[in-house]
Chain A
């Protein structure tokens, strides 16, 4: 079996109507576009975690690292630090990135390492059949919380802004054109970029109608303005029923971890250097 084009022979097992299709189709389109603009496909590495989202790497005929739950970020960082010329794109679920792996996300943002994180935020655990996640609304009745959750969701964009992320955006799975636009900007952004995609799980938490009623695209928004970004990010807190802004909230030019980290490769005779060092010991 030979792999052809951007698709693979893997059988797609997402539920019909799953929001993941929008992300898959958008990223395919963006990567093809970037390829025609001169970015060689072999320089892209896709990393995923565990959950429905993670199957995306099986469906894309590109370099990939199908990782484990919560650990997309450190893997992506390792690949990027090994070869800063690679474009590393991480896909993670909300349980994955905002739950199990939240520490890594905070540190990656703090380092401003040049990777792109796309979060399939369906606000429910799908593959484990319907439990609440860090972004489920208060009172969410899942299989582990039949009486409803008693904790508020986190606002991941606010957390990421506070942690030092230099590109923050939100899209939905009912809006592929906007997703394409955002994904491309996120990938081309130099520094840590995170896109929170309100990706709908049709089986366990169907929010299409809810989102469709409330989403709007940000206009007249100065993306370089931290305060404006914070205000807009706080407008919808993943719990209230207010309108939900989509688009790029924040973008800042800043030096990256790998630029500042000493990566100078020296051509050396290791044996000679070890012997020299031993002479001093």
Chain B
């Protein structure tokens, strides 16, 4: 099996997420490349939650609707997902709580009395998931020692009982198929949120400040867990307003800081963002998108904040926006965002979403181009210090408190070079132009980087236009259908020249986006480019590979 998917499902509180991670780790040990999609409602107990673990011989970053194994901890999982089964799929289910409907005879249904086993072992009900993993592994022909190693690494509490329960599941069933070991070394598994966090650490992050909000809370939790080890300050203040203003205080004192939220929290940060623009205070803001308007679907995904992030905050000031598409890009471009923020003293956004942030990807550090921490341009200590010295590229050298020889004044009002309030028309013009000049210099610097990626059949006259978490999806679909893919990573300042170069030869441009209006399509139209077709999905769920391929085929049939 070169490419297969496993769906494990149950209620919130059944340990579905953990079980999905463990299955992914087991398959990772066997040399497979993985992607995990997590689907869960906004509740703590109950409802329906599931993970799809997709494994392949080659790198992947998207899931498929059709599955090969259905692992059911309750009846809902069987009922909701049976339409995903292929002719020869395998269902493994807790026969004490779930019944099968009339499934085609080609489907292999394997019942395991998970509830009974748990009772016999006097184990907690949540351990049904470990028992099910044991049964799955035996059915898939996976050796016991692989499971044992992974369980020991992933479970701290009651590991002996967990192993025993897993073994009971393992021994309860017989081998049905064989997931062969692949001879390639395994790669670490990271969520997009973890990759963002590590990229920021790489570029010198000292402080992370956030108010909890899905899908960015995992960054707060992950960094809080690393705080002691990495010497980080991780703070959870009273509100997103507190978050962003506190962050600006850190920046003023010379500490590299990032904040993270979703669209709703970012609404509260808009005044702080504009302040950062005026006072030229470096700041990294992670916006993990989810469907709106308002509370929307809190635990699902969307790509709806491109224009919000692009335009938020009163006044005009440059900002850097990057939309990474997988774990390696999340790592690399988060580090870049922190570097650019400090080099140019501007706000920099990492535009993520639930699919990227909470999706699990393989992570290959060796595939990432070298990136290192870059410092700010510092005051030479000679001339009298002017916080807002007007320079050719608009960047004023920085000094940080306490500095014996410098008085450091920042100001939200329009100000002169010393930072003292002014309403003088000439100084106003000079300062506005100084700030905006930085945007032009960033664009110039970005020419050294790959800000627009091209994948698939580069000679195809039909190109998919995508951004962020749809990258892996579009690349795989394009490879299968022999199309071209264009993925701008930097969205502000917009790399117009590079984009123009990338779309050369493309006669039809199809934007693929998780929103209802085609936001990237709209953005490029302001630079004189035009999309010919929009393939949009805005129900909160990501495109599945097979789903996108169907929609592309329907379009191609129409135009070819």
Contacts and interface: CB of A to CB of B under 8 A. Distances in A.
Interface of A: 1-3, 8-10, 40, 42-43, 45, 47, 50, 55, 57-58, 61-68, 71, 74-83, 85-86, 103-104, 106-107, 261-268, 270-271, 273-275, 277-281
Contact of B188 (A43, A64, A264, A281): A281
Q: Is the interface of B mostly helix, strand, loop or mixed?
A: mixed
Contacts of A47: 249
B249 A81 contact: yes
B308 to A, nearest CB: 20
A74 B241 contact: yes
B230 A50 contact: no
A88 B410 CA distance: 15
11 contacts: A45-B401, A64-B408, A64-B409, A64-B419, A66-B410, A75-B252, A103-B241, A261-B233, A266-B230, A268-B231, A279-B188
Contact of A78 (B204, B252, B413, B419): B252
A260 to B, nearest CB: 13
Interface in B383-412: 384, 401-404, 406-412
B296 interface: no
A104 B363 CA distance: 40
B202 interface: yes
A83 B421 CA distance: 26
B407 A79 contact: no
Contact of B250 (A8, A66, A81): A81
Contacts of A81: 207, 233, 235, 246, 249-250
A272 to B, nearest CB: 11
Contacts of B229: 266, 268, 273
A58 to B, nearest CB: 5
Contacts of B237: 74, 77, 107
Given A75-B248, A270-B202, A10 B365 contact: no
A74 B249 contact: yes
B201 interface: yes
Contacts of A274: 198, 201-202
Tell me if A's interface is mostly helix, strand, loop or mixed. mixed
Which 9 residue pairs across A and B have the least CB separation, nearest first?
A: A78-B249, A82-B253, A74-B245, A281-B188, A78-B246, A266-B231, A66-B411, A42-B402, A79-B249
Contacts of B441: none
Contact of A3 (B242, B415, B418): B418
Given A64-B408, A74-B246, 9 more contacts: A1-B418, A58-B421, A63-B407, A65-B252, A68-B245, A68-B275, A83-B401, A266-B231, A275-B365
A86 B401 contact: yes
Contacts of B231: 264-268
B219 to A, nearest CB: 15
A183 B243 CA distance: 28
Given A75-B248, A75-B249, A63 B408 contact: yes
B115 to A, nearest CB: 33
B448 interface: no
Interface of B: 153, 188-190, 194, 198, 201-202, 204, 207, 209, 226-231, 233, 235, 237-239, 241-243, 245-255, 271-272, 275, 363, 365, 384, 401-404, 406-413, 415, 418-421
B129 to A, nearest CB: 21
Contacts of A262: 227-228, 233
A79 B275 CA distance: 16
B384 A82 contact: no
Contacts of B403: 42
A278 B238 CA distance: 33
Contacts of B233: 81, 261-263
Contacts of B401: 42-43, 45, 63, 79, 83, 86
Interface centre among B238, B245, B247, B365 (most CB of A within 10 A): B245
B474 to A, nearest CB: 26
Contacts of A62: 407
Nearest to B362: A281
A246 to B, nearest CB: 31
Nearest to A61: B407
Contacts of A1: 418
Given A71-B241, A74-B245, A78-B250, A40 B363 contact: no
A268 B230 contact: yes
Contact of B412 (A2, A67, A273): A67
Contacts of A67: 245, 248, 275, 412
Contacts of B365: 275, 278
Q: Which of A55, A65, A78, A80 has the most C-beta atoms of chain B within 10 angstroms of its own C-beta? A: A78
B418 A82 contact: no
B242 A103 contact: yes
A79 to B, nearest CB: 4
Nearest to B271: A68
Count chain A CB atoms within 10 A of each CB in B238, B407, B413, B420 and give the residue with the most.
Answer: B420
A273 B228 CA distance: 12
Given A42-B401, A66-B421, A82 B249 contact: yes
Contacts of A79: 249-250, 252-253, 401
Q: Which of A71, A76, A267, A279 has the most CB of B within 10 A?
A: A71
A9 B209 CA distance: 37
A27 B419 CA distance: 20
Contacts of B415: 66
Contacts of A63: 401-402, 407-409
